[in-house]
Amino acid sequence: MSDQISETLQKKIADRLGFYEDLGIRTFYRDRGTPVASVAQQQLETVGVLIHSNVFPSEERTLPKTARKPEVPKPAPTIGQPAPRVSPLPLPVSTAPSLFESIEKVADDTLLKIREDLGDCMRCKLHSTRNKIVFGDGNPKAELVFVGEGPGADEDAQGLPFVGRAGKLLTQMIEAMGLQRKDVYICNVVKCRPPENRQPEEDEVHTCSPFLLRQIDTIAPKVVVCLGATAAKTLLQTNRGISQFRGEWLEFRGRKLLATYHPAYLLRNPPAKSEVWKDLQKVMAVLGLEVKKGKSA
Ligand code: SF4
């Protein structure tokens, strides 16, 4: 058995371990009879864990064949399987009728039509400082939609949502769920960058959010995850702080909605990652994705 693994793989394993550690997951296990490349094992033991191959599916695929676990058939992590257990939906955050509840779905709408309708939008003052409109990105038939607040500098430059540091973290979160970015849809409440990354103002949210609503209606996901207070407050039409309903199942136009912290907040407050991971595990259960749990060696 070769003891050598590439530096790239070592770095990927170290990065992934750091990510899981930030999520509060510090204990993994492996089958004791399973050989693991010794370099990788040394790395893992330096952070006090043993590896369980399920936690590192992509890295494991790149290990030498002799270092792999025997193939154990298991269901692929696909969206759409019936959820094993679904918690009952609690009451909505606000009993006041949502602004959006009264807006009817546009017949035969498509993301392309919505983008065409948006055009070179100048409907609110954010148009004057933007570089690129950040419409949204991902699977037009996604069962999971993430909604953030608005584009930042990287997104404004590239025209794509969540591509900066916070976006990298969101990608890690999605991958930790057993998905890829292309499996989900990612968009924002406002599609142009607010100057200096300030919060979007009420009139800007009011003007832009109908396009978001059409996107969600058209994609028709099973679950909408609001990333941060602006997205949650906009869709739920509430002034309550996100900490009061974070991680609770709510309802939005007949769909399940869950609000969690924005990745940018997690960059400033890494301990909150474990709370977000618990929230994402609830989403995984509803989508029928395998919930991976650490287990003592
Ligand atoms: S934020 Fe929305 S409404 Fe305002 S200019 Fe950009 S696309 Fe138009």
Ligand 1 nearest-atom number relative to CA 118: 7
Kindly report the CATH class assigned to 99-287. alpha beta
Is 128 in a helix, a strand, or coil? Answer: helix
Helix extents (H) in the chain: 7-22, 38-46, 57-61, 111-118, 153-158, 165-176, 202-219, 229-236, 263-268, 273-287
d(CA 92, CA 245): 9
| Cα 207 to averaged position of ligand 1 atoms, centre (Å) | 7
Residue 278 has pLDDT above 80, yes or no: yes
Helix extents (H) in 177-295: 202-219, 229-236, 263-268, 273-287
Higher confidence at residue 91 or residue 50?
A: 91
Residue 24 has pLDDT above 70, yes or no: no
Helices and strands of the chain, counted as H and E runs: 10, 6
Regarding the beta carbon of 204 and ligand 1, being less than 6 Å apart is answered: yes
Ligand 1 nearest-atom number relative to CA 211: 2
Write the pLDDT tens digit of every residue in 28-82: 555 444 444 444 444 333 333 323 333 223 333 333 333 334 444 444 444 444 4
d(CA 56, CA 37): 14
Write the pLDDT tens digit of every residue in 97-118: 455 666 778 888 999 999 999 9
Regarding the beta carbon of 287 and ligand 1, being less than 6 Å apart is answered: no
| Cα 131 to averaged position of ligand 1 atoms, centre (Å) | 12
Domain range summary for the chain, segments of one domain joined by +: 7-67, 99-287
